[in-house]
Structure 1
Amino acid sequence: MNKIKVLVVDDSALIRNLMSKIINSQQDMETIATAPDPFIARDQIKKFNPDVITLDIEMPKMDGIEFLEKIMRLRPTPVLMVSTLTERGTDVTFRALELGAVDFVTKPKLDISQGMIDYANEITDKIRAAHAARYRLNRLPAKPPAGTASSQVDPVTGLVVPAQAGKALPVNNALGNRFAATEKLVLIGSSTGGTEALRVILEQLPKDSPAILITQHMPAGFTKSFADRLNQVCDITVKEATHGERILPGHAYIAPGDKHLMLGRNGANYICQLSDSEPVNRHRPSVEVLFKSGQEVSPRNIVGIMLTGMGKDGAQAMADMKKAGAYNICQDEASSVVFGMPREAIALGAADEVVSLNQIAKRLLEHLSKIGGRSAVRI
């Protein structure tokens, strides 16, 4: 078996050593080189042609974002960012994902022993996902100079991007208030590549869309910043979910990075429920937990969507949701960064449709329009 060749780029010798030990402990990967800065990394890339690069965001001489841009332009390679849990760290991390990084991990703490096994599992899983990924360059179109009015077309999604807004036009912004009085809900699960996939979908939805609950595999401390970034570019309101809050149309609720998100009921209202219970499929939040709650609470009112991600989290619960009456859409292989989670759901018969990323919002709204006039199902 050919091992995954990994280049570790970090200005800390201790971090380089720790990351190398974690990688070399796996049978299917190896650290082929390390570099303390982007200039040495550039030479190592030419010499060793790595399969995956782990890249520290903050480094001397050239920061990780500038180096990432050069990598994706000159020698596209799967990149896993290593981020600090700070306000600047989170903002720069999401910019890196927009530029084409496959995923990110938080920087390990050198003084921890308990929990290191979980961290090692996380980073090696993400290296495997990066190696398996389909890479998308220039995901976020550059904004034109101020004063220009021409639109652009995103080279990956094919969506029209207004020059001033820098986001995709809603696929249908004349739906009136059709869904506001119904009990329709959308549940979305995603992992590797999901941050950009979610942006593509949510940017296209009109203000009167049904409520959306989202589980995206993401560490604690990043989900609020992620929700805030999406909220700035979407017509719907996007926020990090809080326990017990009422679920409202025109809102998307993202599971916090260290808690499971579940659909609940309080009388006639839907509510968000959060849980600190054990990880499921090695994840907390888990897509399986979210979809299972949908199947138990109100499956006939739900559209389930499975987006790009490695593994099988949520696949079985999505199949159970469909059997109970939900309508499900899975992202197709060609547009997925990693096709694992959609593939597993499709294999279990969970999908009513398999759709390209740039068509998911359109098909979602078409389906909801078709059933929008029906009476809400009461539980």
Structure 2
Amino acid sequence: MNKSIQILVVDDSALVRQFMTEVIASQPDMTLLATAPDPIAAMAKMQKQWPDVILLDVEMPKMDGITFLKQIMAQHPTPVVICSSLTEKGTALTLEAFSAGAVAVFTKATLGVRQHLQSIANDLIRAIREASQAKTTTVRPPIKTAPVTMVTPIQTTHNLTRTTDRVVAIGTSTGGTIALENILTQLPQDVPGIVIVQHMPEKFTAAFAERLNGLCAIEVREAKNGDRVLQGCALIAPGGYHTQVVRNGAFYCTEVFDAPPVNRHKPSVDVLFRSVAKAVGRNALGMILTGMGDDGARGLLSMRQAGANTIAQDEASSVVFGMPKEAIKLGAAEQIFSLNQMPAMIAQFGRR
């Protein structure tokens, strides 16, 4: 039999700790190692036995979750799933947690907590299983490589930014926030327009895009319905909605719409990739990065069959090799590259 996943729950809410206890007890492959109301109490319990996965709140007394997370990742890297409230402060802290090494996030409401947690119990269980398979490292800074050649900066004001005749479509999930930061921060401003699906809850994608926009030479923002896909701009699909690319005369635009989840996800990578295969065809580059499950594998195959260039991230540089692995098994990936090669691949695609 497979080893049971040993879980530590750190949350200052007794209601949340009780609910997590019930959920974990209902799963035959999970064991609740301990619960703690704050990181100080958690540290004492971790001295006795170290968990496989930590469920961690971000806003707590005595020590905040981010400080605790950084200590964990520096001393004993461990998969951490963040439990964050849907608040402005909680969202900002959660994005900081991703940068510090958290592998996944799920949200909890500030009102009607038990009812909300019951509605996301299956997502929570899946997040724990995904986290248990994630690779963690002591330090996860952006990868430094030889800089991609920069060109004369172009205006980033929307009505002055040049249109794009090529489109880069990127899909990712667990570990994707770090991967995207590594890629996008190294791109020059003349790259083709980019459309991204990162599995992330509603409200977090806008803050994630805003954070990346402050780090990158290119413009990064959350996609809105009718946005043109422009050179030097990356559009991130909003959480809770699907995003696809359509042709509108001489331009490529995004359609953001509500529909049932695809492959359990909304936004879905498959939805994006299939639309790019149809609208852009051979003028597209598809990239599937780290993540659990198989979302995007069949869509990437559609892109390759339409003549697009298709790339999968390799196992060594993936936090979770699930999504790239499934794409490779289907024959959807024309080439396989490590994460630190991806920026050059995008820049090279734009110069062809």
TM-score range, shorter chain: over 0.9
Paired residue secondary structure (1:47)? coil
**1:198: which partner in 2?**
180
Per the alignment, residue 248 of structure 1 pairs with 230
Equivalent position of 2:283 in the other structure:
301
Q: CA deviation at 1:107?
A: 2.2
Q: 1:355-366, aligned counterparts within 5 Å?
A: 355-366=337-348
Residue matched to 2:264: 282
> Do the aligned residues in 1 keep the contact of 2:85 with 2:110 (CA within 8 Å)?
no
| SS of structure 1 residue aligned to 2:323 | helix
Contact 2:164/2:193 (8 A) holds in 1: no
2:69 corresponds to: 68
Q: Which whole-Å CA distance do the structure 2 matches of 1:176 and 1:37 have between them?
A: 48
TM-superposed CA distance for 1:118, in Å, is 5.0
- Aligned partner (choices 136, 151, 171) of residue 174 of structure 1: 151
Match of 1:257 in 2: 239
Amino acid corresponding to residue 50 of structure 1 in structure 2: P
Deviations 1:320-351 (A, max 9, x none): 11011010111111110100000000110111
Aligned to 2:210, the other structure's residue is in SS state helix
Task: Note the 1:1-379 alignment, pairs <5 A.
Answer: 1=1, 2-108=3-109, 111=112, 118-140=119-141, 157=143, 159=144, 170-174=147-151, 183-369=165-351, 372=352
Given residue 181 of structure 2, which amino acid in structure 1 is its aligned partner?
A: R
SS in 2 for 1:233: coil
TM superposition shift of 1:361: 0.9
> Which one is further off, 78-87 or 253-262?
78-87
Task: Tell me the residue number matched to 1:146.
Answer: none
C-alpha RMSD of the superposition: 1.9
Distance in 2 (CA, whole Å) between partners of 1:322 and 1:132 is 29
C-alpha displacement of 1:182: 5.1
How far the C-alpha of 1:368 sits from its partner, in A, is: 3.4
Task: Give 3-state SS (helix, strand or coil) of 1:83's partner.
Answer: strand
- State how far apart, in whole Å, the 2-side matches of 1:180 and 1:328 are: 24
Q: Is the 8 A contact 1:82 1:107 kept in 2?
A: yes
Deviations 1:106-137 (A, max 9, x none): 12567367775651111111111111011133
Identity %: 50
CA contact (8 A) 1:78 1:130 kept: yes
How big is each residue's C-alpha offset from its partner over 1:65-97, in whole Å with a ceiling of 9 and x where there is no partner?
Answer: 111111112222111111111221111111111
How far off its partner does 1:219 sit?
Answer: 0.4
Separation (CA, whole Å) in 2 of partners of 1:88 and 1:176: 34
Closer, same or farther in 2 for the Cα pair 1:74/1:137, shift >3 Å? Answer: closer
TM-score computed with the length of structure 2 as normaliser: 0.93
Structure 1 CA distance for aligned equivalents of residues 326 and 119 of structure 2: 24
Q: Distance in 2 between matches of 1:114 and 1:344?
A: 35
The residue type paired with residue 317 of structure 1 is: G
- Measured in 1, the distance between the counterparts of 2:116 and 2:61 equals 29
The 2-side partners of 1:136 and 1:75 are apart by 9
Question: For the residues of structure 1 that align with 2:334 and 2:162, how far apart are their CA atoms?
Answer: 24
Q: Is the 8 A contact 2:189 2:217 kept in 1?
A: yes
| Cα distance in 2 between the residues matched to 1:118 and 1:295 | 34
| Contact 2:166-2:280 at 8 Å conserved across structures | no
Per-residue displacement from partner, 1:11-67 (whole Å, max 9, x unpaired)?
A: 111000111212222221121210111111012112122100001111111111111
Counterparts of 1:182 and 1:272 in 2: how far apart (Å)? 13
- List runs of 5+ in structure 1 lacking aligned partners: 141-153, 161-168, 373-379
The two structures have a TM-score, normalised by structure 1, of 0.87
Aligned residue pairs, count: 345
CA distance in 2, matches of 1:115, 1:69: 28
Runs of 4+ in 1 over 6 A off after TM superposition: 112-115
Equivalent residue letter for 1:213: V
